[in-house]
Structure 1
Amino acid sequence: MPAESRLAAAFGVSKPVVREAVRELVALGVVHIQQGKVARVRAVDAAPLVQFFRFAVSENDHGLADANELRKLIEPQAAVLAARRGTAADQARLTQTIAAIENSVGRPEAFTDADIAFHEAIAAMTGNRLLSLQMQGLRSVIRGVSQILTMRPARTTQEWDATVQRHRAIYEAIIARDEARASSAMLEHFGAADAAIDQLAASWRSQRGETSAA
């Protein structure tokens, strides 16, 4: 970026005004400042979205359900586009992620990493940069939801297997380029997540002595 004096002259404002504007851009993740170096405009990435979604989801008791509902609006269509547009290289990447999911059963942290990689790979397969950035922005939310669900003390072997099978159903539909099946498999996946989140919410309300959702 040009020096503060040049920016001030170009826009007809004072240096303090430019300095405050640059601070705002840094806070938004648009500009990067390093001590002793020229300020630089950052490449577009998901960092601002990551911050936004992290705070938006954590600020209320319905955050998990809200996040899952948002993903349910986005990801079935992403699965459709992935089935339609995915290249051979994209499919190879998706194959690696489903293998990682299957190999991480019973290990919540590893499973969470594989789950994030799987859903981000599908977003990348759409060829839609904004959609891919959206999914990257949701990464911290996806991680939080996945960790809560996979770390439940009462999680059974059957539940682990069912989760893996839902992912495999999505994978197989996308690889087969079956758009309708890819969408329905993704919807089924989030339907199961809805049920698990409802159970958790009911448990939390019970622990707080509440009888219904706030």
Structure 2
Amino acid sequence: MLAQSEDLSGAEKVFAFFRNALLDGTLKTGERLLGERELALKLGVSRPLLREALRSLSMLGFLDIQHGRGAFVRHAEISVLSDFFTFSLAQQPDILDDVMQARIAIECQAIRLACDRASETDLKGIGSKLTRLMDTLHDPAEGGAADFAFHQAIVDASHSEALNTLYRAIGDLLRRSHIQRREVTISEPGVIDYLVDAHREVFLSIVDRNPDAADRKLREHFAIGDAFRRRSLISAFSRRPAT
């Protein structure tokens, strides 16, 4: 078992070898690892431990182990990273507030890049997401999902693989946050008009290719949205009867 201390040290050797080989370009997607015996000798670990470590990497989607042929490097799916973030972060108290701060950092840089890099197809895609958002304003579940899709389309339009990877990794948590916030704020006076105006202004700033304005509009959107959420929470608790 990898849980034993000496085995854990050996497993770390395997993981470090694999990670470093990917980083320095020694291994690339589709390439075959050294044979089990040769790799075990190279890393100074037992073959059973190596086999277990490679199986773990395979379960994570990093390797494709083919019986009789060996282990091949796979291009990992983003869902693996998303699952890791979800399982890890979901156990932390008040994690959605922290995730929102990460979201702001990612989106504000993404929208600046989108102003420079977005293609006509990207702009049409963001526009269609805005239309969907406006069609679902009164439905917290559908509207929250549409809101998330609008912001995801902005990150997509940045054409930054790193920002997209990070954003999609927290995507499940963000989608849940959008829906929860809609459920809380949907009855707040003025929120419907705000949702339309704020998202339209963000979209138009990208169309205008104005990164400073886009960054500013997006930050205003986050700040005002958070104010709506706080107001609705205060209102909800103020209506509760004393016990």
Q: Please give the TM-score of this superposition, normalised by the length of structure 2.
A: 0.71
1:174/1:3 CA distance change after superposition, 3 Å:
closer
Is 2:173 the partner of 1:141? Answer: yes
Judge conservation of contact 2:198–2:221 (CA < 8 Å) in 1. Answer: yes
Does the aligned pair in 2 maintain the 1:46–1:134 contact within 8 Å?
no
State the Cα deviation string for residues 147-185 of structure 1 (Å, max 9, x = none).
Answer: 111122762462133123211111110011111111011
Rounded Cα–Cα distance in structure 2 between residues aligned with 1:142 and 1:64: 8
Q: Give 5+ residue unaligned stretches, structure 2.
A: 1-29, 239-243
Take 1:196 and 1:57, find their aligned partners in 2: how far apart are those partners?
25
Q: Which has more radius of gyration?
A: 2
Specify the alignment match of 1:87 in structure 2.
119
Matched, 1:171 2:203: yes
Question: Deviation of residue 130 (structure 1)?
Answer: 1.0
Q: Is the Cα–Cα contact under 8 Å of residues 46 and 133 in structure 1 kept in the other structure?
A: yes
Residue of structure 2 in register with 1:45 after alignment = 77
Q: Contact 2:145/2:179 (CA < 8 Å) preserved in 1?
A: no
The one-letter code sitting in structure 2 at the alignment partner of 1:137 is: A
Aligned to 1:73: 105
In structure 2, the CA distance between the partners of 1:62 and 1:85, relative to structure 1 (3 Å rule), is same
Letter in 2 for 1:6: G
d(CA) in 2 for partners of 1:34 and 1:165? 54
Cα distance in 1 for partners of 2:232, 2:189 equals 18
- Whose relative contact order is higher, 1 or 2, with alpha carbons under 8 Å and at least 6 apart? 1
Unaligned runs of 5+ in 1: 207-214
CA shift in 2, pair 1:5/1:73, >3 Å:
closer
Query: Aligned partner of 2:139: which letter?
Result: R
Residue 173 to residue 154, structure 1, CA distance change in 2 (3 Å): closer
Deviation per residue, 1:7-51 (Å, 9 max, x gap): 33334244312222123313544235699x986644233223312
Contact kept? 1:80, 1:179, Cα under 8 Å? yes
Residue correspondences, number: 206
- Equivalent position of 1:150 in the other structure: 182
Deviates more, 1:113-122 or 1:44-53: 44-53
Q: What are the Cα deviations for residues 77-117 of structure 1, in whole angstroms up to 9, with x where unaligned?
A: 11111011111111111111111111111112222222222
**Would you say the 8 A contact 2:35–2:70 is kept in 1?**
no
Percent identity reads: 26
